[in-house]
Structure 1
Amino acid sequence: MKHYYRYITDRYLFRIVTSLLLAGAVTVSIIYKDLLWIVISSLLLLTSLRWQWKLYRRHTQKVLFLLDAIENNDASIHFSEHEDIPDNHIVNQALNRVASILYNVKSETAQQEKYYELILDCINTGILVLNDAGAVYQKNNEALRLLGLEVFTHVSQLNRIDANLMGLFAHCHPGDKLQTRLSNERGTVNLSIRVSDITIRQEHFRILALNDINNELDEKEIDSWIRLTRVLTHEIMNSVTPITSLSDTLLTLIQGSEELKTKSESISSYKETADEIRNGLHTISTTGKGLLSFVENYRRFTRIPKPEPSLFYVKGFINRMVELARHQYPDSHITFHSHITPDDLILYADENLISQVLINLLKNAIQAIEAAEIPEGIITLHAYCNENEAVLIEVSNNGPAIPPEVAEHIFIPFFTTKEGGSGIGLSISRQIMRLSGGSLSLHPGKETMFVLKFN
């Protein structure tokens, strides 16, 4: 290609030199007042300049045409490389090569952008890029999932979900580290937001990194309670065990001494004293045994066996759980509705452990309906597979909704609003779901609905 460039350069130099010589000839003819040479040299000079001007305009139009085509993403532009005029042939070749290079660069840039978009869609962090006007320049699928949106083009759209969240996104600054809670139809999400910024083509953008910290908070909460429970069980067991053993021994000794003390001047006084001791020791024994039972129930929270998952049909499983609930509460007048979509829905989990979760939820639902004295109680179980191929089981009832101030604490171990309740049922159920790779959550709404999600 170099010899073509050398060739066309030489031709341009030849034309320029020729034009300069003709201009000199015109000047000399004027000086010597030779009219014939003035006319001839002037015509030749005008012809040369006109040819060069047409050539310049032709090549300039081609360059402009090429630039317009590139700007409009027209990849079909191509200049003929088979023209008779050598200059046009070489220029067309050069323009085609420039076009090819520019299109390749543009194509590579588009592929890189697509590559980065795919990477963004594969990470578990939601990414939003906003300009100063609040327009969404870029987002990934995780950000849309966390916000519960299918289309997101401007922060003003968040006003339909949460006005506070819209204000937070609109007024956050680079370097901010924020936390907020978002409630939508998918449940409650605790968002951690980190803000940074960048300037591209003299336009300022903010980059928001969104993370769902529900799992992290739940894990820390459960780990803290597990450690506390282990300490409590150790200390209480060490204290209560000798008390119960000693009280049982004293009760036995008193019974033996009563048999031997049949005759005594102070029999009545002795009996009164013995009765007081017996009653006191009986109280100690009963209290100690109650504490042991109390601690043993809580010890279950920290001793959940490792799940051993297997495949099983959800429909048959739910039907068995419903029959078991009916058997445990035969006097309750509650109607059960089951909806499994599809009928042959299969779940991969530890059936025995998941049955504990479902039994506990059904028991709570039955007790809530009976406590509210609802004449026609209804418990609905709905199992289905969502768009992400996760299996969900929803357990709802027409009893009164759980108040928000109570709902915040229902998964905390030992928290209960029931008289005589242990407060570990929902805590154990959530831990089982977490060990099974899923989650258990309370769906906000007018009715009580718990959602088991198996990823």
Structure 2
Amino acid sequence: MTQRIKQLPQYHWFSLGIILCFTILATLFAIHKEYLWMGISICLAVTGIWWQYALYSVHTKRVLFMIDALENNDNTIHFPEEEPILKSRDINQALNRVARILYNVKAETAQQEKYYELILNCVNTGILVLNDSGAVYQKNNEALHLLGLEVFTHIRQLNKVDATLMKKVESCRAGDKLQTTFNNERETINLSIRVSDITIRNEHLRILALNDINNELDEKEIESWSRLTRVLTHEIMNSVTPITSLSETLLSIANTTDKELRHGLQTISATGKGLLAFVNSYRQFTRIPTPEPTLFYVKGFLKRMVELARHQNPCNNITFHTSILPEDLIIHADENLISQVVINLLNNAIQAIGIKPDGKISIKAYCNQEEEIMIEIQNNGPAIPPEVAEQIFIPFFTTKENGNGIGLSISRQIMRLSGGNITLLPGNEPKFLLKFK
């Protein structure tokens, strides 16, 4: 390659030398008044100059043609390397080598971009790259999933999701750490946003890292409630157990005919036992066993759950509609624990409908684009008021006269332990969504 590079200047100087010789000869012939030979020398010199210019034009056109072909991703470009003129042959060989090198560099760059794009789509953090005009340069699948968008090219499209979210994204700057909450079609998203920036090719870009912190908040909330429940049940059990035991002992040894005293001791004993039973029921909240996941078919599982719910709650006025796509859908989870969640939701749905005629409970199971298993349970009972919807997963919160308020909170904890979650979807009819990752 070094020898070929050195040959190009040799041809160049050789051609210039010939032109210079003819020019000197023309000058000498002019001095000696040999006008014929002077004219011939001038013609030869002009011909040499024209020949150099023609070669330069041809080679320039070939270089421009090569550049255009590379810009259009045309890798078939090839200049003939068997030309009779040695100089053109060497130039063509050099252009072919340059074209191969540039095409390989371009192909490697495209592969690297694809590689980085695949990496971005594998992370659980949403990534957005925006310029100062709000155009979206880059985004990954997690960002689209969090924002509930299929196409995202400019931040103005966030106005369809949430106007407040769009304003925060539009005004954020490098170093900002933001938090915002909005509702998409599936659930409520509690979004954490971290902003950094970079300048590429003299253009300033902002990089936004998006994370849904609902899971973190829910886990901390569940942990706090669990600790509080353990403390309260421990203290209540320690205080009530001796009282119950003592009242029973006094009843067994007392030979009194005083009816009021005996009735009082019986009341203390009965109340103590009732309180112990009440506290013991709340221990369920802190004693959920570790899930032992197995594979099971959703179709057969849901059929058993509907039959069990019908058996526990006679409901001739309610029809069940089940849709499973595909029919051989499989879940990897602890079937016994998940059955508690589904039965609780079905029982709640039946109780919400009550004696309403034409009651309807629909159950849909499917797999979304992220290959997560989704189960929706919806009923046509009365809508859940917004102020109630915000609290239904809080332990011990209930709107039922005889409810204990731990059914949904236990369901949420089971789903968290199973690696999924449970949410109440917005709408006029109560609809719960179980998501298995």
Fold shared, TM-score > 0.5 on shorter chain: yes
> Partners of 2:247 and 2:78 in 1: how far apart?
103
Aligned to 2:256: 257
Shift of 1:112: 0.5
TM-aligned CA distance change 1:339 to 1:331, over 3 Å? closer
> Partners of 1:12 and 1:202 in 2: how far apart?
40
Q: Is the 8 A contact 2:19 2:45 kept in 1?
A: yes
Which moves more between the two structures, 180-189 or 285-294? 285-294
Aligned to 1:327: 311
Shift of 1:162: 1.6
TM-score with structure 1 setting the length? 0.90
2:421 to 436, 439, 442: 439
- Secondary structure of the residue aligned to 1:217 is helix
Letter aligned with residue 96 of structure 2:
N
TM-aligned CA distance change 1:340 to 1:75, over 3 Å? closer
Letter aligned with residue 42 of structure 1:
I
Q: Is the 8 A contact 2:382 2:429 kept in 1?
A: yes
Gaps of 5+ in 2: none
Aligned to 2:277: 293
Letter aligned with residue 87 of structure 1:
K
TM-aligned CA distance change 1:354 to 1:87, over 3 Å? same
1:97 and 2:81 correspond: no
TM-aligned CA distance change 1:66 to 1:347, over 3 Å? closer
1:305 to 289, 301, 322: 289
> Partners of 1:237 and 1:332 in 2: how far apart?
42
1:196 and 2:196 correspond: yes
> Partners of 1:88 and 1:146 in 2: how far apart?
59
**Which structure 2 residues correspond to residues 240-255 of structure 1 after superposition, within 5 A?**
240-253=240-253, 255=254
Q: Is the 8 A contact 2:298 2:331 kept in 1?
A: yes
- Secondary structure of the residue aligned to 1:56 is helix
Aligned to 1:261: none
Letter aligned with residue 256 of structure 1:
N
- Secondary structure of the residue aligned to 1:209 is strand
**Which structure 2 residues correspond to residues 386-425 of structure 1 after superposition, within 5 A?**
386-425=368-407
**Which structure 2 residues correspond to residues 135-284 of structure 1 after superposition, within 5 A?**
135-253=135-253, 255-258=254-257, 271=258, 275=260, 277-278=261-262, 280-284=264-268
> Partners of 1:313 and 1:68 in 2: how far apart?
58
> Partners of 1:439 and 1:15 in 2: how far apart?
81
Aligned to 2:46: 46
Q: CA offsets per residue over residues 400-437 of structure 1, 9 Å max, x none?
A: 11112221221121222222321110111111122222
- Secondary structure of the residue aligned to 2:381 is coil
TM-aligned CA distance change 1:328 to 1:5, over 3 Å? closer
**Which structure 2 residues correspond to residues 70-85 of structure 1 after superposition, within 5 A?**
70-85=70-85
- Secondary structure of the residue aligned to 2:255 is helix
Letter aligned with residue 279 of structure 2:
V
- Secondary structure of the residue aligned to 1:194 is strand
TM-score with structure 2 setting the length? 0.93
Letter aligned with residue 294 of structure 1:
F
> Partners of 2:2 and 2:334 in 1: how far apart?
74
Shift of 1:89: 0.4
1:381 and 2:380 correspond: no
Aligned to 1:25: 25
> Partners of 1:416 and 1:302 in 2: how far apart?
18
- Secondary structure of the residue aligned to 1:256 is coil
Aligned to 1:448: 430
Shift of 1:103: 0.7
1:353 to 337, 346, 353: 337
Shift of 1:223: 1.4
- Secondary structure of the residue aligned to 1:348 is strand
Shift of 1:283: 4.4
Aligned to 1:429: 411
> Partners of 2:174 and 2:70 in 1: how far apart?
36
Letter aligned with residue 65 of structure 1:
F
> Partners of 1:369 and 1:318 in 2: how far apart?
20
Which moves more between the two structures, 306-315 or 68-77? 306-315
Gaps of 5+ in 1: 259-270
> Partners of 1:383 and 1:247 in 2: how far apart?
54
Shift of 1:447: 0.5
Shift of 1:332: 6.4
> Partners of 1:45 and 1:309 in 2: how far apart?
91
Aligned to 2:55: 55
Shift of 1:311: 3.4
> Partners of 1:239 and 1:13 in 2: how far apart?
109
Which moves more between the two structures, 109-118 or 373-382? 373-382
Shift of 1:282: 4.2
Aligned to 2:6: 6
> Partners of 2:99 and 2:71 in 1: how far apart?
11
Shift of 1:279: 5.1
Determine which structure has more spread, i.e. the larger CA radius of gyration: 1
> Partners of 2:295 and 2:15 in 1: how far apart?
86
Shift of 1:278: 4.4
- Secondary structure of the residue aligned to 2:256 is helix
Aligned to 1:116: 116
Q: Is the 8 A contact 2:317 2:356 kept in 1?
A: no
Aligned to 1:265: none
Q: CA offsets per residue over residues 54-77 of structure 1, 9 Å max, x none?
A: 122222222222222222222221
User: What root-mean-square deviation, in Å, do the aligned CA atoms of Structure 1 and Structure 2 show?
Assistant: 2.1
